[in-house]
Amino acid sequence: MKPRRGRGASGNPDGRYLPTTREEYDDGWTNDDRDVPQLKTTVTEERSKSIINQNKSPDLPFDQSINPYRGCEHGCVYCYARPAHAYMDLSPGLDFESRLFSKPDAAEVLRKAFGRKGYRCSAISLGANTDAYQPIERRLKITREILEVMAECRHPVTIVSKSSLVERDIDLLAPMAAANLAQVFISVTSLDRGLSRRMEPRAAAPQRRLQTVKSLAAAGIPTGVMFAPVIPALNDDQMEDVLAAAAVAGARYAGYIMLRLPLEVNGLFKDWLQQHYPLRADRVMARVRDVRDGNENDSKFGRRFRGTGAIAELIGQRFRRACRDYGLNVSRHEFDTDAFTPPRECAPQLELF
């Protein structure tokens, strides 16, 4: 199947929980040279009973997260969140990036959560599963509403995004950062515009993301860069260049994550490789197995983000050396959780006296 313009996945494999599956069959009538119709994005609203997710993974630097959206229009072919769409009886392929779900009442539900007795304040990662600043956020503004509640309650937040739309909310993030309540990481996977467009078709261009790093840093917001995912034999050679460019733009922190291929992502990524880089596909997958102890994925804590083996260790050494050379991760950012104040309408009435 020909890739659709502006989309990452080329196919729409059935979700693993469906009782039946479909299989493509060439009956001789298909014209592979025909124009593939544009796939439109649809957004379905869903009501939220709760909005804060509790994370127990020892690999993550946070234990709370909020996802304003299900699915992501950026269409990153490697996205580890794709398999979650199967829970909606939808495909982790094109459905994931075109049939989206929004949570319009997220800010209201968050306000109630902050007002509950016994709520323990710890930094919340905004958009840990899918990008909180994906294109539909420009119109729906759910992420901004969430940030307004956090700013009001003086609640710390950390953000990872590959969108320049985060600049819109500098007016909220800058004062929060001045009070040690905000940190932003911008994901930059390559400086090669061609590779980036193929991997992340609806995300901002690499140079535009670096400009976003510069804008955030200039506003006094602690800013970092995420080189994620590292894809051996495809983009790993650009790690040092990305970290150097981010440091020049004002980044103070950096991180990286090895490519993960859970469940349906495995087949989608292999199809993408064959379509866009057929001569390198076998080598890339061989290197993926090298960093996964002979497998193509590893979900074990402590190994899933970094990989194992000589190549994985070499990538880690290169990362640490580049961080030393460019002055990244010199110190660790600390959030102020003591300043948290419950929403005013949730505070005890006796505070009036």
**pLDDT tens for each residue of 208-226:** 999 999 999 999 999 999 9
Q: What single DSSP character describes residue 169? A: G
Q: How many residues does the chain have?
A: 353
Instruction: Look over the chain and give the mean of its residue pLDDT values, rounded to a whole number.
Output: 91
Give the model confidence (pLDDT) of 152-204 as tens digits.
Answer: 999 999 999 999 999 999 999 999 999 999 999 999 999 999 999 999 999 99
Q: Are 56 and 65 in contact (CB under 8 A)?
A: no
Q: How many other CB atoms are found less than 10 A from the CB of residue 35?
A: 8
- The dihedral through the CA atoms of 180, 321, 259, 42 has a sign that is positive
Residue 254, pLDDT above cutoff 60: yes
pLDDT of 24 reads 59
Residue 228, pLDDT above cutoff 50: yes
Residue 33 binned pLDDT confidence (cut-offs 50, 70, 90): very low
Question: Which residues are CB-neighbours of 195 under 8 A, at least 6 positions away?
Answer: 234, 235
Phi, psi of 332 (to 5 degrees): -100, 135
3-state secondary structure at position 335: coil
d(CA 126, CA 157): 7
Residue 36 binned pLDDT confidence (cut-offs 50, 70, 90): low
What region does 293 belong to: left with phi over 0, alpha with psi -120 to 50, or beta?
left
Regarding beta strands 69-70 and 99-102, do their DSSP bridges make them parallel or antiparallel, or are they unpaired? antiparallel
Residue among 252, 243, 232 nearest 309 (CA): 232
Q: What is the pTM of this model?
A: 0.90
Q: In what order do the strands lie in the sheet with 69-70?
A: 42-45, 99-102, 69-70
Calculate the CA dihedral of residues 246, 174, 128, 130 and round it to 10 degrees.
Answer: -80
Residue 345, pLDDT above cutoff 90: no
Residue 4, pLDDT above cutoff 80: no
Q: How many other CB atoms are found less than 10 A from the CB of residue 104?
A: 16
Residue among 256, 258, 265, 255 nearest 303 (CA): 258
> Over pLDDT 70: what percentage of the chain?
89
pLDDT of 57 reads 84
d(CA 318, CA 186): 20
Average pLDDT of the residues in 262-267: 96
Residue 82, pLDDT above cutoff 60: yes
Q: Are 234 and 269 in contact (CB under 8 A)?
A: no
Residue 9 binned pLDDT confidence (cut-offs 50, 70, 90): confident
Q: What single DSSP character describes residue 39? A: P
Residue 333, pLDDT above cutoff 80: yes
Question: Which residues are CB-neighbours of 189 under 8 A, at least 6 positions away?
Answer: 162, 196, 199, 200, 206, 227, 228, 229, 235, 242
pLDDT of 353 reads 45
Mind listing the domains of the chain with CATH numbers?
42-330 (3.80.30.30)
3-state secondary structure at position 214: helix
d(CA 196, CA 209): 11
Amino acid at 248: V
Alpha helices in the chain (DSSP H): 94-98, 106-115, 137-140, 142-153, 170-178, 193-199, 206-218, 239-249, 264-276, 281-290, 310-326
Give the model confidence (pLDDT) of 292-330 as tens digits.
Answer: 999 999 999 989 999 999 999 999 999 999 999 999 999
Residue 1 binned pLDDT confidence (cut-offs 50, 70, 90): low
Place of tokens 């040092």: 240
